[in-house]
Amino acid sequence: MKIFRILFLTSVLALLAACNGPVKPESTDGHQLWFYSMDNDGMNLSPEKTTMAIAANEIQEYWKGGQDVAFNVLEAKDETLGNEGYRLVFDKNGISVESNTETGVLYGVYDLLRRQETGKLVKTGTITEVPAFQYRVLNHWDNPDLTVERGYAGQSLWKWESLPGTILPVYEEYARANASLGINSTVLNNVNADPIMLTPEYLEKVKVLADIFRPYGLKVFLSINFASPKRIGGLKTSDPLDKDVVKWWNDKAAEIYSIIPDFGGFLVKANSEGQSGPQDYGRTHADGANMLAKAVKPFGGIVMWRAFVYDAQAPDRAMQASLEFVPFDGKFDDNVIIQIKNGPIDFQPREPFSPLFGQLENTTVMAEMQITQEYLGHSNHLVYLHPMWKECLDSDTYQKGEGSTVRKITDGQLHNRPINAIAGVTNIGDSTNWCGHHFAQANWYAYGRMAWNPDLSSEEIADEWIRQTFTDDADFVNPIKDLMMESRENTVRYEMPLGLHHTFAGAGHYGPGPWEGSIRPDWSPMYYHKAGVDGVGFDRTMKGSGNTGQYNEPLASIYDNVETCPEELILWFHHLPWDYKMKSGETLWDTLCHTFQQGIDAAAGYIDTWASVRDYVDEERWNEVNVKVVRQAKDALWWRDATMLYFQTFSNLPFPEDCSEPQHTFEELRRFRLGISNYETPDPEALPEYDLSRL
């Protein structure tokens, strides 16, 4: 009778679905991430914490195919697979997951399950996967006091005050999520590092996390404060050429590796935004990086040295990294990687790639992407970031002629470096859904998949994520994928089109504030947009700051000439009059107005798209996302109104008739203050109110 009832209920549900559309899923809080389609009752983790036991548990719990799945750690190593690559071998007798290492087998298992959930299994044949980057790194900007700099998903995941005694389940869930994507490295703390992280007390806390992460192939790194020898070591200096300082770092490295034998190494922010560094002592970036690199090299460690440096007095901040690092090209040790932000300024919605990628021919470099949406609406806006990152990786630097893309420089194809890496500044916090916005999970997912295989398209990754996170029903997948694919470009349109950049309010980098001043010029939006009666935009040509000359030809000439400069970057490289004629025949002013309007209209369209798929999403997640997309549409209006009403005080030009009228005056918006810190997300209820029906 029990079996009959189950079969009867199933038949009724199927009939209802056929007659009335999809059956509404039960509500979920989103904690399952992209495991939802196979794991919507919770994460059934392996009780035994070895890599092979974890792999076996994943198959036992979630494999739905009829074939047997066998694991094969190869005795005769296959050099083509490296340490982490794997093969999936499909034949009539079953499926074999083969690798040189247990970690590779685990990655293969997650690939097999991903293919199961996305409809990409094959009946026969062999699939071989090898990661493009050796180090696939998440950078956490988490602080010991549990705040997260540029974090919009609650407090830090790491509860330092309760470690090492209290171990939370979320630590292993985090490791599992990263392993499913092939992410193999994590920097636990903020680049604005507190020296306390290197004390014995905190190293014991770090050890607990490292032990949990190890079976999942996840290696721990730490950000370090360069002044640590003075701050916690009792020395009078932190000069990298001082013998006592060198000894202190050598001893500290030995101490760390005695506690965490597979410790990855150090991430360093030095001589930037007030952080200590070798320049404090008249030394160079190479002096500082190499001193640390020598300390960790005996243990197999590396140093990731950030190129995010700039001088408050520099005439063009976009040029500073090149000015500081190019003179030392080839002077860095072989276990040092210079970590370069994707653009030359600071994770703006659109930037050209940093010229430094194309200038360092004899130095190992890596790209730093930002997963957390510091300048893209925090956790209030739906913005799928993979198209932005791929735009950077696919950019041609022409360093060694055509085809010298950022990807080929950083993954080792162009220069055959001994190490290579990529980093993403994570968006993870202790929020139940991990990222503050259900769709922000897609950016964590996309970063991991891109770090493993940069050849994957944005569409492919979005399709994978949607099917695993929500449903594989085409009536949901197709419109949501289209929305995601347009979201980054739409955000550029309603925030900073045509190469405008850094026009944000200073409070938390949320919302517009193009009129704001600051205690230093390069922290003021006016430094970047340079709006006046004569026009708008930053002149970075050879007649201006000279930034175009930092790019290799033919890019230098393309960017320098206003006629050939891509219009999406035209105000990045050129200062133009308001009546400048664009390629469309419109004036610059009208083009700005119309581009903002396109972004506004698209953001308002998210509301309708999300409403159209309501039946395919559980009620809890649908409601939470709906609140966000409504806020996003209102924020788009706020951005346009504030920016263009401010610019109108210089241009004295009217808004085109086919653009919606501003709903607030410039004086009203100018008086508006968010009052948020770096560690807060703005309350949607406290933001400017807009009537979307007036669009």
Is 22's pLDDT higher than 90? no
Which of 407, 441, 457 is the endpoint of a domain?
457
Count how many domains the chain has.
3
Check pLDDT > 60 for residue 5.
Answer: no
Q: Are 128 and 85 in contact (CB under 8 A)?
A: yes
Residue 314 has what pLDDT? 80
In one letter, which amino acid is 132? A
CATH number at residue 84: 3.30.379.10
Question: The domain that contains 630 carries what CATH number?
Answer: 3.90.1330.10
Q: What rounded mean pLDDT belongs to the chain?
A: 95
b/e code 5-35 from CB counts within 10 Å (16+ = b): eeeeeeeeeeeeeeeeeeeebeebebebbbb
Which residue range is the domain that position 241 belongs to?
Answer: 150-457
What pLDDT digit, counting tens, does each position of 323-371 carry? 999 999 999 999 999 999 999 999 999 999 999 999 999 999 999 999 9
Neighbours of 694 (CB within 10 A): 9
Q: Would you say 487 and 504 are in contact if contact means Cβ atoms under 8 Å apart? A: no
Two tokens at 210? 């490292």
Q: Cα angle at 686 between 681 and 691, to 5 degrees?
A: 120
Q: Are 155 and 430 in contact (CB under 8 A)?
A: yes
Same domain? For 265 and 355 the reply is yes
Q: Name the residue type at position 365.
A: V
Domain assignment present for residue 55? The answer is yes
The model's pLDDT over 480-505, given as tens digits with 9 standing for 90+, comes to 999 999 999 999 999 999 999 999 99
At 207 the pLDDT is 98
- Whether residues 160 and 77 share a domain: the answer is no
**Separation in Å, CA 536 to CA 89, 181, 572:** 58, 43, 10
Strands (E), 265-364: 265-268, 302-306, 336-341
Among the listed residues 48, 273, 334, 455, the single catalytic one is 273
| CB-CB contact of 498 with 571 (8 Å) | yes
The stretch 367-387 carries a mean pLDDT of 98
Of 13-22, 656-665, 667-676, the poorest mean pLDDT is in 13-22
pTM: 0.96
Q: Is residue 109 part of a domain?
A: yes
- Single out the catalytic residue among 129, 368, 374, 396: 374
The mean pLDDT value for 28-43 works out to 88
Tokens coding 552: 């290799």
Q: What is the pLDDT of residue 11?
A: 38
Residues 632, 508, single domain; the answer is yes
**pLDDT tens digits, residue range 92-133?**
989 999 999 999 999 999 999 999 999 999 999 999 999 999
Would you say 598 and 604 are in contact if contact means Cβ atoms under 8 Å apart?
no
pLDDT at 91 over 90: yes
Tens digit of pLDDT for each residue in 515-533?
999 999 999 999 999 999 9
176 and 321 in a common domain: yes
DSSP state, 405?
B
Active site residue 346: yes
State the Cα–Cα distance between residues 515 and 527, nearest whole angstrom. 10
Instruction: Check if the beta carbon of residue 382 is closer than 8 Å to that of residue 372.
Output: no
Residue 10 clears pLDDT 60, i.e. is over it: no
Q: What's the confidence (pLDDT) of residue 252?
A: 98
For the record, the structure tokens of 490 come out as 């739409």
567: in domain: no
Q: What percent of the chain has pLDDT over 90?
A: 90
- Among 401, 431, 457, where does a domain finish? 457
Angle between helices 51-62 and 102-118 (to 10 degrees): 20
d(CA 492, CA 387): 12
Query: Tokens 């636990």, residue?
Result: 188
Largest CA distance in the chain: 85
CB atoms within 10 A of CB 419: 15
- Among candidates 536, 545, 540, which has minimal Cα distance to 576? 536
**417 pLDDT band (50/70/90 cuts)?**
very high
Report the pLDDT value the prediction gives residue 43, as an integer from 0 to 100: 78
Nearest-10 Cα torsion for 433, 435, 438, 439: -160
Q: Is the pLDDT of residue 1 over 50?
A: no
**Looking at residue 181, which CATH number applies to its domain?**
3.20.20.80
Q: Which of 385, 382, 326 is nearest to 354 (CA)?
A: 326
CB atoms within 10 A of CB 581: 12
Residue 102 falls within a domain, yes or no? yes
Q: How large is the angle between the packed helices 619-651 and 474-495, nearest 10 degrees?
A: 20
Q: Is residue 608 part of a domain?
A: yes
Is pLDDT at 19 greater than 70 in this prediction? no
State how far the Cα of 573 lies from the Cα of 319, in Å rounded to an integer. Answer: 12
- Cβ distance 440 to 427 under 8 Å? yes
Same domain, 369 and 427: yes
107 and 163 inside one domain: no
For position 679, what pLDDT does the model report? Answer: 82
The three-state secondary structure class of 315 is coil
Which of 173, 346, 489, 618 is an active site residue? 346
3-state secondary structure of 331: coil
Q: Give yes or no for residue 14 having a pLDDT over 90.
A: no
Pairing of strands 86-91, 125-129: antiparallel
Helix then strand then coil, % of the chain, to nearest 5: 45, 10, 45
Give backbone dihedrals phi and psi of 273, rounded to 5 degrees, phi first.
Answer: 50, 40
CA separation, residue 497 to residues 355, 500, 537 (Å): 21, 6, 11
| 632 found inside a domain | yes
Together in a domain, 41 and 164: no
Residue 227 lies in a domain: yes
| 150-159, 620-629, 666-675: the lowest-pLDDT one | 666-675
- Regarding whether 441 and 514 lie in a shared domain, the answer is no
Q: Which tokens hold the place of 475?
A: 């009536």
- In the predicted model, what is the mean pLDDT of residues 40-56? 89
CA distance 214 to 261: 11
| CB neighbour list of residue 7: distance below 8 Å, 6 or more residues apart | none
Residues 506 and 618: their CA atoms lie apart, in Å, by 37
338 three-state secondary structure: strand
Q: Assess whether 224 and 370 both reside in one domain.
A: yes
- Each residue of 542-563: pLDDT tens digit? 999 999 999 999 999 999 999 9
Q: What's the pLDDT score for residue 685? A: 80
Dihedral of alpha carbons 487, 491, 497, 500, sign = negative
Sequence letter at residue 604 = A
The terminus-to-terminus CA distance of the chain in angstroms comes to 58
Is the residue at 673 inside a domain? yes
Which residues make beta-bridge pairs with 221?
A: 187
Alpha helices in 281-337 (DSSP H): 285-296, 320-325
pLDDT for 20 equals 59
- For the chain, state the CA radius of gyration: 26
Same domain for 240 and 120, yes or no, is: no
Q: What is the pLDDT of residue 6?
A: 29
Same-domain status, 597 and 672: yes
Do 323 and 429 fall within a single domain? yes
What average pLDDT does range 292-310 have in this prediction?
Answer: 98
Token output for 269: 């922010």
Residue 598 has pLDDT above 50, yes or no: yes
